[in-house]
Amino acid sequence: MSARTLLVLVSCALSVITGLVIARGGTGLTAARQRPLIGLSMDTLKEERWQEDRDLFTAKVKAAGADVMVQCANSDDAAQLQNVESLITQKVDALVIIPHNGVAMAKAVNLAHQAGIPVLSYDRLITGCDLDLYLTFDNVKVGELQAKFLTDRMPQNGRLRLIRIYGAKTDNNARLFKQGQDNILQPLIAAGKVEVVFEDWAEDWKPESAKKITNAAITKNGPNFDAILASNDGTAGGAIQALTEEGLAGKILVTGQDADLAACQRIAQGTQAMTVYKPIQSISTVLVELALKLAQRKPIVAKDSTSNGHTDVPSVLINIIPVTKENLRDTVVKDGFHKEAEVFQPTQP
């Protein structure tokens, strides 16, 4: 049998692409085991959201009567490959990978397939391989919402001066966020209404890197800018630290994403202007459902597909919600993602 364990049929109907992932060969479960075993290989637990992702996934897999093994690579490609190899050795029935480096992890997918294990790429795409399934938020839309928030708040002189902080170059999502931002900004840049005064990529999404970028921008331009288009809450936090040191916090609009508690507190206090809430609760339910179907070799219907440079990967995209001071209560608090008292009355350090 071919190394590929799944057959992917992609058919076009009107503008909707339907991907059907069909199980091939056996039940997928190792003979000696009654309960499915899912392997979860994570890049990092640095951002709060990943801890939430891990905890919800683990709890929901167990509640569904299956088991899970989790490994974290701390932003190291070699470590992540080793983690996947070890999960393969443990004979997991399906693998969920959140890649540090979407290009480098193609090797992990190939190894899993050689062992007959299907792979779901979660949140970030693994490129250049025969990936089985991709579950993510609408990442281009994240970037569009961030940029739109700023362009909807043009200064009175009709010219918006921006510092842009992108995410990790190794993360395919960072490029998608930029693509979404560009969709909104390019026409306005061409019309002379938006000026990018400084831009750079934050290494491994580090807040320290974002702080350095902001410091460098201020050294170069002084305080002559209106907004910082930070691609996530971690980098927003680093940028806001630099702004605070310069007495600019609260005067400059700063974007983000993830609805981290610290970011929601900054929004309540007025030092960060917006974030994008990605409903981790709902996506974790979908993730468990898909991972279990893969493990049990059951058919999966995916409405979308995403080219990863090698194949059109059947994809499931989950919607996201922009969050500002006005709707903090109606979104993250209402959803139980954060408690109202934590968001609005943070303990002062």
**Binding-site ranges for ligand BGC (CB under 6 A):** 47, 49, 123-124, 167, 171, 173, 205, 232, 257-258
Which lies closer to ligand BGC via its Cβ, residue 56 or residue 88? 56
Which lies closer to ligand BGC via its Cβ, residue 85 or residue 200? 200
Cβ atoms within 10 A of the Cβ of 129, count?
23
Q: How far apart are CA 293 and CA 307, in angstroms?
A: 22
119: phi then psi, degrees, rounded to nearest 5:
-125, 130
Beta bridge partners of 322: 276
* Residue 173 beta carbon to ligand BGC: minimum distance, rounded to whole angstroms: 4
Sequence-separated (6 or more) residues with CB below 8 Å from residue 137? 123, 278, 283, 317, 318, 319, 320
- Compute the 3-state secondary structure of the chain and give helix, strand, coil in percent, each to the nearest 5: 40, 25, 35
* Residue 142 beta carbon to ligand BGC: minimum distance, rounded to whole angstroms: 8
* Residue 139 beta carbon to ligand BGC: minimum distance, rounded to whole angstroms: 7
* Residue 112 beta carbon to ligand BGC: minimum distance, rounded to whole angstroms: 21
What is the DSSP secondary-structure string of 221-274? HTT--SEEEESSHHHHHHHHHHHHHTT-TTTSEE---S--HHHHHHHHHTSS--
* Residue 235 beta carbon to ligand BGC: minimum distance, rounded to whole angstroms: 8
Which lies closer to ligand BGC via its Cβ, residue 146 or residue 232? 232
* Residue 54 beta carbon to ligand BGC: minimum distance, rounded to whole angstroms: 13
Q: How far apart are CA 154 and CA 144, in angstroms?
A: 16
Which lies closer to ligand BGC via its Cβ, residue 23 or residue 42? 42
Which lies closer to ligand BGC via its Cβ, residue 93 or residue 260? 260
Which lies closer to ligand BGC via its Cβ, residue 205 or residue 337? 205
Straight-line distance from the first to the last Cα atom of the chain, in angstroms, rounded to the nearest whole number? 60
